[in-house]
Homo-oligomer: A and B are copies of this chain.
Amino acid sequence: MTRASDRAYRKIRSFILSDDVHPGMQLTEERLAEISGVSRTPVRDAVQRLENEMLLVRSASKRLSVADWSHDEIDEIFSLRAMLESHAAERAAQRMDDESLARLRAINVTLTEAVNRPEADIATFLEANRQFHGLILDRAQSPRLSQLLPSLVEQPVVRRTAAQYSRDDLIQSGIDHEELIAAFAARDSKWARAVMTSHIRRAFHSFSSATSRIAKD
């Protein structure tokens, strides 16, 4: 049986990422307790975790709300991600094994197929993308990195911005991944680092131009 605080964490998390929640929305611990079906004690544990991941913020006087990010903040988040994930890629290249390599290839096939469907299957793309980056982080074998990176609000930003990406952006992601795999296969850590850096920069760029396009409407 999983711990109640873990269940609460997952439930609250998916609640926050769902569409019936808008950034800045106020919440109460009690409400979250209802949602996750446990008492406030484990909820508070979960909330603290989510605060660390900056999915939730406590406004001035301890009131909870769903995090919101300015464009500058998202810029900064992508910068930090670029740094840390590039570092992860570098380490992963030095520690790559054939099995992981095979799994990376398999994941990217799934990802590419999802993109190439008549209607791009965004959900599958996101999940495959998550797995791809997760596996790299895993191979980096750095507990600190594994702790720092997720708290970089990776998923939420991706989630809220994924809708912004054009099909071309998604296709480009698959191509970037191919090159990453090549770098890993060659155990070339500098190459892997460089590819990862531009991969994330490119992702931010796509996001950035898409939102500025929207801002004009």
Contact = CB atoms under 8 A, between A and B. Distances in A.
Contact of A151 (B41, B142, B145, B148): B148
A83 B82 CA distance: 11
A144 B76 contact: yes
In the complex this chain forms, how many copies of it are found? 2
A161 interface: no
Interface string A28-48: 000000000000010011001
A210 interface: no
Contact of A148 (B45, B73, B148): B148
A149 B3 CA distance: 30
B77 A144 contact: yes
Contacts of A145: 76, 80
A84 interface: yes
A142 B45 CA distance: 26
Question: Chain A interface: which size bin?
Answer: 20 to 34
Q: Give the secondary structure class of A's interface.
A: helix
A129 interface: no
Contacts of A118: none
A74 to B, nearest CB: 10
A87 interface: yes
A143 B127 CA distance: 28
Contacts of A152: 144, 148
A48 B48 CA distance: 8
A110 interface: no
A52 interface: yes
A54 interface: yes
A195 B83 CA distance: 18
Contacts of A151: 147-148
Contacts of A54: 144, 147
A107 B142 CA distance: 34
Contacts of A87: 79-80, 83
